[in-house]
Amino acid sequence: MSDVTLAVTVLWVFLFTYSILGSIDFGAGFWSMLYGGKHHSKAGALANRYLSPTWEVTNVFLVLFVVALVGFFPHATHILGGALLVPVSLVLLLLLIRSTFMVYAYSVAKYGRLLNVVSGITGLLIPGLLVSVLPITLGGFVTLTDGVPELHMLELFTSTTEYAHLGFGLSTELFMSALFLADYSREAGDEETYLDYRRLAMIWGPVNLVMALLTVSTLSTHAPWIVEGFKRNGLWFGFSVLAFIAAYILLLIKREDGRRGYPRASVIAVVIQYGLASYAYFSAHMPYMVYPHLTFDEGITNPAMFRSLFIGYIVSSAILVPVFYMFWRLFLKDKRYLQPEKN
């Protein structure tokens, strides 16, 4: 593999991991806010129980992605920094607000409901804003004047492509989080809450698929170059749709014990679905980082620095993977945490 291919692979792994964990995390915050009242207290409490130990961990992968992006592609920071300054700054501001309110939500009981509302709303907006960065890289919104990048905000926020990406990001968040919380509920032995989140996943799954198709349709006029890339990678997108169908069927199957659905297998199928789709998207996007101004080859660091960074990421991953596995076992599988004793 070339240095560029290896660097892009590292970026893809970090971005894909964060997109999955972030969708679950931010979506759980929204469901915690929505079901925080007395009528759905069990569903809200379960989402809160998941958020309590995990929301700090999820952002680690965002930091790893940003550090890898700057480290592997330092020559791209000039264009990316100028083009993405406003949307990324908004994301960081919302992350700061959400993190602050999440801390107070667990320590100040008097304002717990209000703080949950704020963290839930910001958690709903962040994934949409993150996904909305993608249209900027597709061309048409960034121009170079004497080498200085300029983002045309008016054209961006009046573009159907931008709002299609926003809708896709929001629907992805709500679908992934509902499906995962369904599995989390089953693991906790709460069948009633499982049925609530299973119903939400079955609603938002088709919505997410429709939003993906609408997003692609808006690109046919805005970015025909990447649509051609989608056609070249059509087989991978086809496999992705098959994985989604398999995930949906797994939620419908009636088990031998009379219960309906295999949520764990469905979650795995959906992760595979997004993995295949994101791989196909990245392949279609190559070789451009920001079309048509910057390619990955132009932004890559020198070979010596690349080797040092790559070895560093291998060593750090060897340390982090077991740590995250132990974290998963402790907070997401341990029955003592999943099924706390009732007072």
- Under 8 Å between Cβ of 131 and 166: yes
Cβ neighbors of 260 (< 8 A, separation 6 or more) are 198, 251, 252, 253, 254
pTM value is 0.89
pLDDT reported for residue 343: 40
Cβ within 8 Å of residue 80, ≥6 positions away: 69, 289, 290, 294
Instruction: State the chain's mean pLDDT as an integer.
Output: 86
In this predicted model, what pLDDT tens digit does every residue of 160-199 receive, in sequence order? Answer: 999 999 999 999 999 999 999 999 888 888 888 899 999 9
Write the CB contacts of 78 (distance below 8 Å, at least 6 apart in sequence). Answer: 149
**pLDDT by position in tens, the chain (length 343):** 789 999 999 999 999 999 998 888 888 888 888 887 655 567 877 777 776 566 677 888 888 898 899 999 998 888 888 778 778 888 888 888 887 777 676 666 666 677 778 878 888 888 878 887 889 999 888 888 877 888 888 888 889 999 999 999 999 999 999 999 999 888 888 888 899 999 999 999 999 999 999 999 999 888 999 999 999 999 999 999 999 999 999 999 988 887 889 999 999 999 999 999 999 999 999 999 999 889 999 999 999 999 999 998 889 888 888 888 887 777 766 666 666 554 4
Question: Which amino acid is located at 314 in the chain?
Answer: I
Distance CA 90, CA 129 (A): 8
pLDDT tens by residue, 60-79:
888 889 889 999 999 888 88
